[in-house]
Chains A and B, each alone.
Chain A
Amino acid sequence: EAQVTQNPRYLITVTGKKLTVTCSQNMNHEYMSWYRQDPGLGLRQIYYSMNVEVTDKGDVPEGYKVSRKEKRNFPLILESPSPNQTSLYFCASSPYFGTGDSNQPQHFGDGTRLSIL
């Protein structure tokens, strides 16, 4: 089954304790992305990656790191989490190449709910 898998699904932790949220896709997609979803603000892009070893900042990258060492994995790293990073996080993937009507929209994982106390 084609899917985007995130782990953990739920995490409660404390300020300053480094954490990593993993994301893995089995569709051989070039493009992967991380979003956070907050009430009244919708989904906002944190980082994205167009292929292995190629990453770029989205709209709200502060306080986050990513890496793309393998095509299937795109972990999100919070080096020193703070309470304002409490949110629902989504990973997404899609084939990158395509223009016009052949463009392929993104497929999302089921989310990771992070609470930082």
Chain B
Amino acid sequence: QKEVEQDPGPLSVPEGAIVSLNCTYSNSAFQYFMWYRQYSRKGPELLMYTYSSGNKEDGRFTAQVDKSSKYISLFIRDSQPSDSATYLCAMSPRVFGNEKLTFGTGTRLTIIP
């Protein structure tokens, strides 16, 4: 079993819809939770990151962490065609820094105009 599981999709939704992306994990040592967006032929770019449990909001994006269920989510409101990309969740344990990042396999998202 992988440490981090992520539905690969692909996921297609109409413009303006709310998108929900999810990851589950098995390692209870994970404390930092991140979402990266990756456009085709580009490197991953950080969207959101949270430490421990709870919610964090940034514009149209909301990240949720439920450590009791080992489940994290990224919600995108009012989705736009420019949101079409692959979304990667990533996690690391609470050590000195983030040297041991573990990634999900990514979910490919397409927003249909």
Contact = CB atoms under 8 A, between A and B. Distances in A.
Interface of A: 4, 31, 33, 35, 40-45, 48, 50, 56, 58, 90, 92, 94, 96-101, 103-111
Interface string B49-81: 101000000000000000000000000000000
A48 B88 CA distance: 20
A106 B88 CA distance: 13
A111 B41 CA distance: 8
Interface of B: 6, 8, 32, 34, 36, 41-46, 49, 51, 88, 90, 94, 96-101, 103-106
B51 A103 contact: yes
The 4 closest A-B pairs by CB, nearest first: A108-B43, A42-B105, A43-B103, A42-B103
A48 B104 CA distance: 19
Contact of A101 (B51, B90, B97): B51
Contact of B49 (A35, A56, A105): A105
A97 B43 contact: no
Contacts of B6: 42
8 contacts: A33-B99, A42-B103, A42-B106, A43-B88, A94-B97, A105-B49, A106-B46, A108-B43
A4 B105 CA distance: 22
Nearest to B6: A42
